Amino acid sequence: MQVLKCILAIWSWIVVGVLVIFLWRIAYFYQKTSGQRVGYYFLVVAALLLGAGAVWYLIANVEFIGEPVADALLFGGGLLLLIFGGRLQELMTGERP
């Protein structure tokens, strides 16, 4: 059962990584075509934080809650993704009244 949990955790984090890569490519494409500065390199920081949090849990071999350092890493990465995604949406859709 432990092996199955580990496989599912790794698979889910691979999916999260692929989604972050898609967001990075969208931001890169938008910056190149529009000429507006997007700052898509901030996604690297978010991906590193998320990856560090996931690896922390996998190495610690504990349930997926209750590790303060790993939780802080995941929270920081998620917060950066939230801020970046909101900013990118604002840039791509234009300001709305």
Give the residue carrying structure tokens 């432990």. Answer: 2
Instruction: Give the pLDDT of residue 32.
Output: 93
* Closest C-alpha to 13, from 57, 61, 76: 57
Nearest in space to 79 (alpha carbons), one of 56, 49, 52, 53: 49
Q: Does position 97 have pLDDT exceeding 60, yes or no?
A: no
In tens, the pLDDT along 40-95 reads 888 999 999 998 988 888 787 767 677 888 889 999 999 999 999 999 999 899 86
